[in-house]
């Protein structure tokens, strides 16, 4: 299984890569179900990732880039995140809730000042209802719980970019794809 398949990317003109084509021969029912869902394209949307965990940033960046998003900056703390937003002028900013120097909820107002025109999406391992509500009150338009598949994140961010506030994406059930 190739990375493109994991992250929901298709080849030019929407064609599947060879690995996906072979899988379709072996599992035609699954292939039909996948064909019904459009693959994310990213449409060149610019994204900044702010997360104190470099491995989490790398994983998010890889998934976003394969999905067609343009990652224009990264930050591992509050000041570097604000600078990345100022420099990159992104369409979407992904912000982790829990970082050592300043949390995402406290950082959101400063990020909005740095570049008010973008949409802020909180990404956190803690998906408690109160945290989601607090993130929305602080200026986030969406909340993604860590653990969601990269394909689901890409689809969700496309919806965020084009529709504003959307429903929360949760990682359970793990065997389901984004509706």
Q: Write b or e for each residue in 86-98: b if 16 or more Cβ atoms lie within 10 A of its Cβ, otherwise e.
A: eebebbbbbbbbe
**6 pLDDT tier (thresholds 50, 70, 90):** low
Higher pLDDT, 44 or 21: 44
Report the candidate in 101, 99, 168, 73 with the shortest Cα–Cα distance to residue 130. Answer: 168
What is the rounded average pLDDT of the residues 124-133? 81
> What pLDDT is attached to residue 168?
67
Share of the chain above pLDDT 70, in %: 67
**71 pLDDT tier (thresholds 50, 70, 90):** very high
Distance, CA of 140 to CA of 105 (rounded, Å)? 9
Listed in order, the ranges of the chain carrying CATH 3.40.50.2300 are: 46-163
Higher pLDDT, 53 or 8: 53
Q: Does domain 46-163 have CATH number 3.40.50.300?
A: no
What is the rounded average pLDDT of the residues 109-114? 85
> What pLDDT is attached to residue 138?
86
> What pLDDT is attached to residue 111?
87
């Amino acid at each position: 299984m190739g990375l493109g398949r994991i992250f929901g990317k298709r080849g030019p003109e929407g064609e599947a890569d060879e690995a996906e084509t072979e899988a379709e021969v072996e599992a035609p029912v699954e292939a039909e179900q996948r064909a019904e869902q459009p693959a994310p394209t990213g449409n060149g949307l610019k994204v900044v990732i702010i997360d104190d965990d470099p491995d989490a940033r790398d994983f998010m960046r890889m998934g976003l880039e394969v999905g067609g998003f343009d990652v224009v900056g990264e930050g591992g703390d509050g000041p570097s995140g604000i600078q990345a937003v100022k420099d990159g002028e992104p369409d979407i900013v992904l912000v982790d809730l829990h970082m050592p120097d300043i949390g995402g909820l406290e950082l959101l107002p400063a990020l909005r000042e740095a570049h008010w025109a973008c949409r802020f999406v909180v990404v956190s391992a803690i998906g408690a209802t109160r945290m989601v509500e607090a993130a929305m009150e602080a200026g986030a338009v969406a909340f993604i719980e860590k653990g969601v598949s990269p394909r689901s994140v890409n689809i969700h961010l496309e919806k965020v970019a084009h529709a504003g506030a959307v429903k929360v994406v949760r990682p359970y059930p793990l065997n389901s794809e984004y509706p």
